[in-house]
Amino acid sequence: MKQISILDEIIVDNFAGGGGASTGIELAIGHSVDIAINHDPAAIAMHKANHPTTEHYQESVWTVDPIKAVRGRKVGLAWFSPDCKHFSKAKGGKPCDKKIRGLAWIVLKWAALVRPRVIMLENVEEFQTWGPLNRRRHPIKSKKGQTYWKWRGQLEALGYQIESRELVAADYGAPTKRKRFFMVARCDGKPIVWPKPTHGDRHSEEVKDGLLKAYVPAAEIIDWDIPCKSIFGRKKPLAENTMKRIAKGIKKFVIESPEPFIMQIGQTGFTKDRNKSIHEPLTTIVSKAEHCLVTPYLIQYHSETTKDGVRGQSIKEPIMTLDSSPRYGLVSAFIIQMNKNMIGTDMKEPLNTIVAGPGHIGEVRAFLIKYYGQGVGQDIKEPLDTIVSKDRFGLVTIYGQDYQIADIGMRMLEPHELFAAQGFPSNYVIDRDYEGKKYPKTAQVARCGNAVPPPFAEALVRANLPELCEGNGKFREAI
């Protein structure tokens, strides 16, 4: 009778979704997971497109019989990412679904019936507050965490050693600050290993000393070839709150930023090879009079804010947590040198945007005054020569050179940018299923927001299952 070795072990991805955890695992082990389970046909269709050799179960995790599914094979790793919406603080005060909150009990079923050597679970940090609900289906504060510790205790009773931590995706090379709760349980007597961070804040001593790589900035996942439409003159004006957020962001990330992130526009358009760092000499930023500059930042439409209440961020930092709806937009402040009659309205417009009277400057100034509420600047009917006054709102000084905001553009981030922000490989298929059927953008964004950033799974598997890791960190071509 053939003896089953560790190399014969299989890997199972429960709640597989669009394939975030499966992709991270594959980057580590060099091949697709053996089994993927998810009730959502759209999620399974995307998973099949990228993991065609995986055995897929399009059904509830509760209806899958672990014994029949594994067919006598040993399970080296069982990964679980149960629905987190009914734990997340993003749900607010809405009633919770007890059944969805109870999905993690499936871990005990697999542990009892097929005894995976290693179990990994991913969820929001609030998963640790799992407890009973009252009649209105709201968590009972006095019993916070009771169910979680009961569940965890039952897993320990099955012979598993358990540890848990909260990890940040940016620490492992993903361009997102997404924080998640992770639990690792194993029954083979080997120690649980937590992966060491590979990246850190660019200002930290570890990065300066070369011990860590700098966080991957949001700027690297933005497709700079996509134009930003001006916020002015739109047929349907932006919402009042959106305009206020843009104004606050312009103030923080453009006007008052000590290190604005500068992108260059020239005669050939706005492309990656023309980008210039603010840390380069000024002459390389504005080498000719026909060049203008764009200072971009990201605006958010959900509750995550900075300490000063600004709902946005610089693109020099990893993107904040993504969710399943399209709530992240790119805002670009087009700025011009004070001694040039220049105006820019679109990232890819030709050189004829140079005009004699930059009317957008007055429009932008009026916009900033209205939405930020500061008594600085000028009315758009005042003479143009007052624009160059240094105490005026909208003036940006970069290495001693004065610039004036001329226009502001905004667009929503596209699905391929969001998937890149989560750390997915560039060749991951997101716009069609395994049969070639096209996905609408809303479906793509939903798959992305619910996905596990692959760098999480890759780091955890490499740390705890090195004997299975033959992958080189590259994702093979999908069908």
> Measuring CA to CA, which residue among 81, 104, 196 is closest to residue 453?
81
Separation between Cα atoms, residue 191 and residue 181, nearest integer Å: 19
Annotated catalytic residue within 84, 228, 292, 448: 84
Per-position DSSP letters for 390-452, written without gaps between them: TTSTTEEEETTEEEEEEEEEEEEPPHHHHHHHTT--TT---SB-TT-PBPPHHHHHHHHHTSP
Tell me the backbone φ, ψ of residue 193, rounded to 5 degrees: -120, 130
Tell me the backbone φ, ψ of residue 447, rounded to 5 degrees: -65, -35
Question: Is the Cβ–Cβ distance between 66 and 106 less than 8 Å?
Answer: no
Question: Is the Cβ–Cβ distance between 319 and 421 less than 8 Å?
Answer: yes
Separation between Cα atoms, residue 72 and residue 66, nearest integer Å: 10
Separation between Cα atoms, residue 85 and residue 91, nearest integer Å: 6
Separation between Cα atoms, residue 422 and residue 417, nearest integer Å: 9
| Beta strand pairing call for 35-37 and 10-14 | parallel
Amino acid in the structure at residue 286: V
Q: CB count, 10 Å around CB of 466?
A: 10
Amino acid in the structure at residue 140: I
Separation between Cα atoms, residue 445 and residue 321, nearest integer Å: 13
Q: CB count, 10 Å around CB of 142?
A: 8
Q: CB count, 10 Å around CB of 64?
A: 17
The H or E element containing residue 32 is: none
Q: Confirm whether 187 is a catalytic residue.
A: no
Maximal CA-CA distance, the chain: 93
Question: Is the Cβ–Cβ distance between 185 and 104 less than 8 Å?
Answer: no
CA 242 to chain centre: 21
R_g (Cα) of the chain, nearest Å: 26
Residues designated as active site: 84
